[in-house]
Chains A and B, each alone.
Chain A
Amino acid sequence: MSERVSLMQGNEASVEGALDAGVRFYAGYPITPSSEVAEDFAAKLPPLGGKFIQMEDEIASMAAIVGASLAGKKAVTATSGPGFSLKQEIIGFANMIEAPCVVINVQRAGPSTGLPTSPAQGDMMQARWGTHGDHPALAVAPSSVADTYLLTFQAVNWAERFRMPVMVMLDETIGHLREKVILPSREEMIIVNRKHPQGSPQSFQPYDIEDEDLIPPLPPYGSGYRFHTTGLYHDETGFPANRPEITKRLLDRLHDKIDRYKETLYLYDSFGLRQANQLIISYGGAARSAKAAWRIAREKGLLVGLLILKTIWPFPEEIVAQAGHDKNNIVVAEMNRGQLIGEVERIMDKRIPIRGAQRADGVLITPEQILAQLEGVN
């Protein structure tokens, strides 16, 4: 049992994290800046007895991982903005039928094909609301290569535990970055597997909820437990039912299964929050610049705190509110025209000024741009 020290790229770390969490199926359609993810899975899955399939497009890739998941495998796909858009319909389907799966989105500048090799964080709201309907969402955003490993591992665990798609919102900055990482030994990583039914195949009802966690067990197709899935509202048999009380019960449960545990899902790093009257909030690649800005501000004697969000959805409202309620300036640093700043504004007291440090020209935001939004820098 020893730590693993190596030089690793962000994209590569997402593969390592997924494999260590038990992923044995990948389907994808390679796209810059996520292509190394596909390349790495292609090299590493077959020796582990896993399957790698390069599909005809992104929609089929998403459908393939949902299928693999129902057949009992832990399954992942990876893409970037244009592919993430295409996958949305089936992400919604996975939400509705409760198929565990993980989508890695290495964000590049959009809309459309945008800038293939340039960083952006323009898909953060798409991860929340990209597919239609009142669905919940689970998404994480790594700001280092080591984080990418840990959060992808966590994403696979969450997918299994909550039976739903989980998004790993990388960006080009972290996806392509190589850095020294120290990962825990594999023995220290705790793997979560989906629940299997306890009863007999004959009495099996696929969406019959018996457990307190509101999650139905999921047997693999082919194991004797027969079940039907549909994107339509369904009852415990898995067949369509359009009665209002069944619709409400299912939609409420899809939300409640996350809401009930959301405080255990809030992953973040915080620095110097207590001795601070100003706060920087950031995530993903932009958080690297935010950390530098925070360090420089502290060196100048400014009382600044830093909150780096790792869990993006569900938005860690209580954490942000707690960190920001006593501050007189909050700066939200992100590589878009302002996405998560809206969430911060929504939950904070309106009297606290909230400023955006934003950059959306395909270039990593600089520490100077973030510093410029703090009070008393000059």
Chain B
Amino acid sequence: MGRYEIRLSGAGGQGLILAGFILAEAVVRFTDQEVIQTQSYGPEARGGASKAEVIISDEEIDYPQVTKPDFLLALTQEAYNKYNRDLKEYGTMIVDERVDAAFRGGPTYVVPIQRKTQERLGTRLVVNVVSLALFNHLHEVVPVDKLQEAVLERVPRGTEDLNKKALELGQELAQELNTYKVFREEEEEDE
């Protein structure tokens, strides 16, 4: 695989920087690929919209910044508005169901990530890990058990069970992913 750019975005505090870090670490530990992780710092990282970016490649990664993400996760409207513009043509998007996202031509999934996490786990603390499991399923970065190993290594002690359940929920949503796929309006008319 050539250079693949991933942008995970949401509100500050949703743990997306940790998710990006865990993803990058999983790549280092369980694959032969190169990986880079960057994040927003400073005022940009506090409250409001926040992002973590990961680049995965078979080859050396020279320029370290994401310029045209192949994949965008947006958990909030603010993050979507701020970070969707440079998505690659036909790039993949997963957005929370409460985000009003424009169809951009690539695979687009509108998933009730926040609602299901709250309903099933009684907290939204782990939306980052639910999202990570969803992305990992879609992109097959590492096997599920390896992702779990990477997650449990980095989450705060005492939250292991909650995070395991978050991974299960993410897997579950991933199985149903096609039901969340949105299509161009004319395509729907054709059907």
Tell me if B36 and A177 are in contact (CB < 8 A): yes
B11 proximity list for chain A (CB < 8 A):
none
Tell me if B25 and A288 are in contact (CB < 8 A): no
Q: Would you call A180 an interface residue if the criterion is a C-beta within 8 Å of the partner chain's C-beta atoms? A: yes
Q: Which parts of A56-115 form the interface with B (CB within 8 Å)?
A: none
Q: Would you call B166 an interface residue if the criterion is a C-beta within 8 Å of the partner chain's C-beta atoms? A: no
Contact partner of B64 among A32, A116, A117, A173, CB < 8 A? A173
Tell me if A291 and B62 are in contact (CB < 8 A): yes
A7 proximity list for chain B (CB < 8 A):
21, 24-25, 27-28, 35, 37
Q: Would you call B136 an interface residue if the criterion is a C-beta within 8 Å of the partner chain's C-beta atoms? A: no
Tell me if B62 and A288 are in contact (CB < 8 A): yes
A136 proximity list for chain B (CB < 8 A):
none
A193 proximity list for chain B (CB < 8 A):
none
Tell me if B63 and A178 are in contact (CB < 8 A): no
Q: Would you call B61 an interface residue if the criterion is a C-beta within 8 Å of the partner chain's C-beta atoms? A: yes
A295 proximity list for chain B (CB < 8 A):
62
Q: Which parts of B1-53 form the interface with A (CB within 8 Å)?
A: 21, 24-25, 27-28, 34-39, 41-42, 44
B39 proximity list for chain A (CB < 8 A):
176
B131 CB to nearest A CB, Å: 19
Bound-state CA distance A6–B30 (Å) is: 11
| Interface size class of chain A, counting residues whose CB lies under 8 Å from the partner chain | 20 to 34
A179 CB to nearest B CB, Å: 5
Write the A365-378 contact mask toward B (1 if CB under 8 angstroms, else 0).
Answer: 01100000000000
Tell me if B61 and A179 are in contact (CB < 8 A): yes
Write the B59-71 contact mask toward A (1 if CB under 8 angstroms, else 0).
Answer: 0011111000000
Tell me if A178 and B38 are in contact (CB < 8 A): yes
Bound-state CA distance A117–B61 (Å) is: 22
Q: Which parts of A280-318 form the interface with B (CB within 8 Å)?
A: 288-289, 291-292, 295
Would you call the interface of chain B mostly helix, strand, loop, or mixed? mixed
B36 proximity list for chain A (CB < 8 A):
177-180
Q: Would you call A191 an interface residue if the criterion is a C-beta within 8 Å of the partner chain's C-beta atoms? A: no
Q: Would you call A18 an interface residue if the criterion is a C-beta within 8 Å of the partner chain's C-beta atoms? A: no
Tell me if B34 and A180 are in contact (CB < 8 A): yes
Tell me if B37 and A366 are in contact (CB < 8 A): no
A179 proximity list for chain B (CB < 8 A):
34-37, 61, 64
Q: Would you call A137 an interface residue if the criterion is a C-beta within 8 Å of the partner chain's C-beta atoms? A: no
Interface size on B, residues (CB 8 A): 19
- In this complex, what residue of B is CB-closest to A6? B28
Tell me if A178 and B42 are in contact (CB < 8 A): no
- Which has the most chain B C-beta neighbours within 10 Å: A5, A177, A178, A367? A178
Tell me if A178 and B41 are in contact (CB < 8 A): no
- In this complex, what residue of A is CB-closest to B40? A117
A6 proximity list for chain B (CB < 8 A):
28
Tell me if B41 and A289 are in contact (CB < 8 A): no
Tell me if B38 and A176 are in contact (CB < 8 A): yes
- In this complex, what residue of A is CB-closest to B65? A364
Tell me if B38 and A177 are in contact (CB < 8 A): yes
- In this complex, what residue of B is CB-closest to A145? B36
B64 proximity list for chain A (CB < 8 A):
173, 177, 179, 288, 364
Tell me if B41 and A32 are in contact (CB < 8 A): yes
Q: Would you call A33 an interface residue if the criterion is a C-beta within 8 Å of the partner chain's C-beta atoms? A: yes
Tell me if A178 and B24 are in contact (CB < 8 A): yes
A117 proximity list for chain B (CB < 8 A):
41-42, 44
Tell me if B21 and A33 are in contact (CB < 8 A): no
- Which has the most chain A C-beta neighbours within 10 Å: B27, B61, B63? B63
A367 proximity list for chain B (CB < 8 A):
62-63
Bound-state CA distance A285–B139 (Å) is: 30
B48 CB to nearest A CB, Å: 15
B61 proximity list for chain A (CB < 8 A):
179
A292 proximity list for chain B (CB < 8 A):
62-63
Given the known interface contacts A7-B25, A180-B27, A180-B28, the answer about A366 and B63 at a Cβ–Cβ threshold of 8 Å is yes
Q: Which parts of A144-187 form the interface with B (CB within 8 Å)?
A: 173, 176-180
B27 proximity list for chain A (CB < 8 A):
7, 180
Tell me if A33 and B28 are in contact (CB < 8 A): no
Bound-state CA distance A11–B34 (Å) is: 19
Write the B144-159 contact mask toward A (1 if CB under 8 angstroms, else 0).
Answer: 0000000000000000
Write the B118-140 contact mask toward A (1 if CB under 8 angstroms, else 0).
Answer: 00000000000000000000000
A32 proximity list for chain B (CB < 8 A):
41-42
Extra contacts besides A177-B64, A178-B37, A180-B28 (9): CB < 8 Å: A7-B21, A117-B44, A177-B37, A180-B24, A180-B27, A180-B34, A180-B36, A288-B64, A367-B62
* Sample (8) of A-B pairs whose CB atoms are under 8 Å apart: A7-B21, A32-B41, A176-B39, A177-B37, A180-B27, A180-B34, A288-B63, A364-B64
Binding site for B on A (CB under 8 A): 5-7, 32-33, 116-117, 173, 176-180, 288-289, 291-292, 295, 364, 366-367
The 9 closest A-B pairs by CB, nearest first: A117-B42, A292-B63, A291-B62, A117-B41, A178-B37, A292-B62, A7-B28, A179-B36, A7-B25
